[in-house]
Structure 1
Amino acid sequence: MHDDLIHTLQTRFSQHMHRHPGWTWDKVLARLNAAPASLAVLEQMEDTGGEPDVIGHAGDTDTVTFCDCSGESPLGRRSLCFDADALAARKANKPAGSAMAMAQTMGVTLLTETQYRQLQELEPFDRKTSSWIATPDSIRALGGALFCDRRYEQVFVYHNGADSYYASRGFRGLLRV
């Protein structure tokens, strides 16, 4: 059923070995076979333009970490405000949805600032777009949300009203398998 996806993931894995030093495809495939529900999540990541790939592991475990590695914020996940509260508060020109709700529906989490910066150490991402990131409750309580991008070979963290949305802003998902 997911043969095309497995082939795509394996090809991407082989083409970008710098993203996952120390990992072999056999180890990744074993984790995917042990958690077959993860394939549906990865399929959604792929279908929305995320180009998921292995970016490492969680601590000392054999948990594989997948992240959206598309050059720009995934096209199928742009023009979203930050969360459901921001969407509900918006009176006019509402976007189609929110990043947090879409991430939850997909089964992924938004990257934290630390995770986003670690991703950017692998290679440059978001040179023309930006991505919402997990936002501390203290900022969100005041109506704001955080996003990141890469400009001038630097990673920048910015703030915006959580109800804002832009055609060039989406989100990157993270999945641990």
Structure 2
Amino acid sequence: MIEINQQEFLTTLQQRLTERHPEIDWTAVQTALLLDQQWEVLARMEATGGEVDLVNETDDTYVFFDCAEESPVDRRAVCYDEAALAARKNATSMEQLSNEIGAAVLTEEDYQFLQTLGDFDQKSQSWLATDPAFRQHGDALFGSKRHGRTFAYYNGVQSYYSNRGFRCKFTVNKG
């Protein structure tokens, strides 16, 4: 499991949120993060290269995504899921790593939204959560951005590339 220093992570996140979202009440965010140790999931996302950022707030939740410019380096060169891993004998899968982190993989809709916030995955690609009906055919979705356009496409779930990773999201309950 990933070793996490709570104070270092919270300081990093506070600096990031204060810089990028000055209107956000850091004390309220921190209070929510400390409830039920929700900060730990975000810290694991951060520790694996995610550069966690707040992308949405509702009355009841804060929604965080991986906002690293490229797909997180420590989560690349993985196949899609455990079934693909068993067939391919890779070192790990996106499914296994996202379960260890404790966060969900971005959906195609999440990924499209992320791309409205900036230019992500211009040199890398990110696996996207794929519905089981599509997955049963041996394929899964991935996304990237090229020439100012966001693309979602599919590839065999057993494939893995050094520049393809995945991005997570985590919703923090306010209390």
Q: TM-score, normalised on structure 2?
A: 0.91
2:91 aligns with 96
Distance 2:97 2:6 in 1: 22
Q: 1:62 aligns with which of 57, 60, 85?
A: 60
Per the alignment, in what secondary structure is the counterpart of residue 158 of structure 2? coil
Q: What letter is aligned with 1:5?
A: F
1:26 aligns with 27
Distance 2:53 2:94 in 1: 20
1:36-115 counterparts in 2 under 5 A?
Answer: 36=37, 38-57=38-57, 60-90=58-88, 94-115=89-110
2:139 is the counterpart of 1:138: no
Runs of 5+ in structure 1 lacking a partner?
none
**Structure 1 residue 98: deviation in Å?**
0.6
1:10 aligns with 14
> Contact conserved, 2:17 with 2:24, CA < 8 A, in 1?
no
Per the alignment, in what secondary structure is the counterpart of residue 8 of structure 2? helix
Q: TM-score, normalised on structure 1?
A: 0.90
Per mean C-alpha deviation after superposition, the further-off stretch among 95-104 and 80-89 is 95-104
Question: Which whole-Å deviations, capped at 9, do the CAs of 1:43-82 have from their partners, x for residues lacking one?
Answer: 211111111111113xx43211111110000000000000
**Structure 1 residue 152: deviation in Å?**
0.8
Q: CA RMSD in A?
A: 1.4
Q: What letter is aligned with 1:48?
A: T
After the TM superposition, which parts of structure 1 deviate over 3 Å for at least 4 consecutive aligned residues? Answer: none
Distance 1:101 1:81 in 2: 10
Q: What letter is aligned with 2:7?
A: D
Per the alignment, in what secondary structure is the counterpart of residue 67 of structure 1? strand
Distance 1:2 1:160 in 2: 38
